[in-house]
A and B are shown apart, each in its own frame.
Chain A
Amino acid sequence: MSTATRRTRRVRPGSVVTGLLAWVVALVMFFPVLWMFVTGFKQESQAATDPPTWLFTPTLEQFRAILGRDFVPYLLNSLMASVGSTALVIVLATPAAYALSLAPVGRWKDSLFFFISTRMMPPVAIILPLYLMANNLGLLDNITMLSLIYTVMNLPIAVWMIRSFLLELPKEVLEAARVDGAAFGAEIRRIILPMIAPGLAATGLICFIFAWNEFFFAVSLTSTNAPTVPVFLTGFVTSEGLFLARLSAAATMAALPVILAGWVAQKWLVRGLSLGAVK
C-alpha cells in the first residue's frame, strides 16, 4: 500500500452533514418497507397495538394463511401478464426503436411524440372503450387481454428507452461491421443486439415492474379467472377493518418477484442505465 492511501484523509464537516442527511433520508424511505416486512411475521393482535410492538416471536402463520387462500393462481396470473407483456414489448419495441433512430423513417419525430402522447392519456378515459372491446371479443376476465393491455401500456416507454440505447451505439462500430461484410441480419444479431443487451434488460425490468404493479386495468377487467396480485392484496382491505399483519405478509410476497427480478438484472441494469457513459 502506498503512503498516500495510508494517510488519513481529512474529513470536511460539510461532507459529514450531507452523509448523515443521506442516511436519515434513506432510512426514512426504507422504514415503511422494513415495517411491512416485519409486520408480516406478527400475530394480528401484535400488529394492531399502539404503541407498536417491537419485540415478538416471529410466526409464519400469516404467510401460511395467504397460501391457504389460493394465492398461487393470482401469482401465476400476474407472472403471465407481466412476463408475457414484457417479452412482447421488447420484441415489438426493438424494431420500432431501430426505425426511429439508426435508420429513421420519414416523420420519425412525429411518430415518437405520438407514442409518448398515448402514455399521457389517463387510463380512466379509456377504460370504458377497453371494457366494451374486451367484452365484444370475449376476452373479459382473461389474462390474454390484460397482457395485451400491458403491452400497449409499456410500448411507448420501451420504444423511447431502447431508442436512446441505440442512439448511444458508436456509429463507427456499425460501419465497421458493414465494411466487414455483415449483412443487415448479421449486423442486428451479432453487433447491435449484444451491444444493447444491458439496455434491453433495463427496459425489460422497468416494463415488468410497471406491469406487475398495475392495478386499475386489472381490477376493472378481471373478476374470478384472471385477477392479479394487486387485486388479491385489496382483498385484505375489508370494511370490517384491516388485517394489518396479513396484508403485510401478502404485500411482502407480492413484492418478492420484483425484488428478485431486480436482483437478477442488477448487473445488467447498472450497465444499462449507464450505457454510453463508458467509452
Chain B
Amino acid sequence: MATVSYQQATRFYPGADAPAVDGLDIDIADGEFLVLVGPSGCGKSTSLRMLAGLEDVDEGTIRIGDRDVTGLAPGKRDVAMVFQSYALYPHMSVAENMGFALEMAKVPKDERIRRVREAARILDLESYLDRKPKALSGGQRQRVAMGRAIVREPQAFLMDEPLSNLDAKLRVSTRSQIAELQRRLGVTTVYVTHDQVEAMTMGDRVAVLKDGVLQQCDTPLGLYRRPANAFVAGFIGSPAMNIREFTVTDGHARIGELDVPLSRATHTQLAREDSDRVLLGFRPESVELVGPTEGYPVAVRLVEELGADTYLYGSVIGAAELNGPDIVARIAVDHTPSIGDTVHLRVRPGQEHAFSPVTGVRLE
C-alpha cells in the first residue's frame, strides 16, 4: 500500500492539438479511494493508464509511494488493474487467471494456491476455480477480474469503469461490494467512471476532469455543496443544477420582476472582471413551492413522479432570462401539480451558486 501522486502529468497523443491530460496534479493518500470522473474524452482513462504504465507520460512525473514510476514498465509498478472488459485470459481457468501475476512474480506454488483460494473465498468464486471465463456470467467474470487484482496484494488498485458491463441491478450491488472490499483491504484505489452516482457513492474523494484538465478534487459532498466552477456544478448532481446567465444591476441579479441580491465578494469579483453579467445556479432540491404572491410563476410542462420524489419541469412566466431549457425543481410528493398548471417557486435563500460568466469560476 502506498500513496500515489500525479505531478504535472501530461500526455499528448500524436497528431492531437490539445493534450489528452494536461498538467494533472493529484495527491492520493495511502488507502484512499479516489474516483476520476468526467464526460467521455475528458482524459480520465488516459490518466489511469498513465499510472498503470500503459500510456506514456510526456511531461511531469507519477509517483507510487516514494518511487518515481514515470518511466517504469507496467509490470514493475506493482499495481493491479481491473479493465472495463475484464480482459480475462480466455484460455486459462479462473484459478489460472487469478494466479497468473503471482506466477510471473515467481511466487512459490503453495503460496500461490493459498492466495488464489483466499481471494476466491472473499469473492465467492470457490466453486468456479476450474471454469474457463466463457462459462461464467458477466457478474462472475467481473469478480474474477477483481480477484486477479486482489491476489496480488498490490500497492494500488486501478479500475477502469469496472461496472459498466453489468446490468443496472448488479451494478448497484457490486458497487457497494467493491467499496466495502476496498475499505477492508485498505489498498489505495484509483477508479475511473463516467457515472456520477458511482463517483459520489464510492469515492473518498472525487476528481472531476474536463478536456484533460482537473476541474476540482474534493469529497463527494464538497463537490456537491461547493462546486469550484460551473462545469462541476452542472456535472455533479442529477437532475443537473439549473444554471442561467443574468444581468447585474446595483449589486443584484435581475430575474424577471425580482432582484436576487449578490454577496459583496461576488460583486467585487465581478467588478474586477468588468462584467455586468453573472451565472447563477440552483439545484432542483433547493426549490420550494410558495404561495401565489411569492416567488416566480412557473408553467408546468412535465412532471416526473419517481415515488419518493417528484420532479417538475417548466418555464418561468415573464422572465426572458430564464427562457431556454426548462427549469427543474424537486417538490414534495403530496403537492404534485398537473401538467399545464402554474405554480409559484422560490429558491431557498443562500442556496444559489454564483459563477463568473467569463471563467466559470465559483464566486463567493
Contacts and interface: CB of A to CB of B under 8 A. Distances in A.
Interface stretch (A84-92, A168-176, A209-217): A168-176
A180 B83 contact: no
A175 B83 contact: yes
A172 B89 contact: no
A175 B74 contact: yes
B123 to A, nearest CB: 17
Contacts of A172: 83-85, 87
Nearest to B79: A179
A178 B74 contact: yes
B54 interface: yes
A177 B81 CA distance: 10
Among A173, A175, A186, the most chain B Cβ lie within 10 Å of the Cβ of A175
Contacts of B104: 180-183, 186
Contact of A173 (B74, B88, B101): B88
A179 B89 contact: no
Interface string A260-271: 000000000000
B230 interface: no
Contacts, number: 66
A263 B85 CA distance: 34
B215 to A, nearest CB: 28
Nearest to B75: A181
A180 B150 CA distance: 12
Contacts of B74: 175, 178-179, 181
A8 B149 CA distance: 51
Interface in A174-218: 175-183, 186, 190-191, 194-195, 197
Contact of A179 (B80, B84, B91, B105): B80
B89 A178 contact: no
B54 A175 contact: yes
Chain B residues touching A, range: 20 to 34
B73 interface: yes
B54 A180 contact: no
Contact of B87 (A176, A181, A183): A176
A180 B75 contact: yes
Secondary structure class of chain A's binding surface, majority of residues: helix
Nearest to A190: B100
Contacts of A186: 104
A181 B83 CA distance: 16
A175 B148 CA distance: 14
Given A178-B75, A180-B101, A181-B75, A194 B91 contact: yes
B148 to A, nearest CB: 7
A182 B90 CA distance: 16
Interface string B190-226: 0000000000000000000000000000000000000
Contact of B100 (A180, A183, A197): A180
A58 B349 CA distance: 103
A177 to B, nearest CB: 7
Nearest to B78: A181
B296 to A, nearest CB: 51
25 contacts: A170-B85, A172-B84, A172-B85, A173-B88, A173-B89, A175-B52, A175-B74, A175-B87, A178-B53, A178-B54, A178-B73, A179-B74, A179-B75, A179-B79, A179-B158, A181-B101, A181-B105, A182-B75, A182-B104, A183-B75, A190-B100, A194-B91, A195-B89, A195-B91, A278-B134
Given A175-B74, A179-B81, A181-B75, 18 more contacts: A172-B87, A173-B87, A173-B90, A175-B52, A175-B54, A176-B89, A176-B148, A177-B89, A178-B53, A179-B54, A179-B74, A179-B79, A180-B75, A180-B101, A180-B148, A181-B76, A186-B104, A197-B91
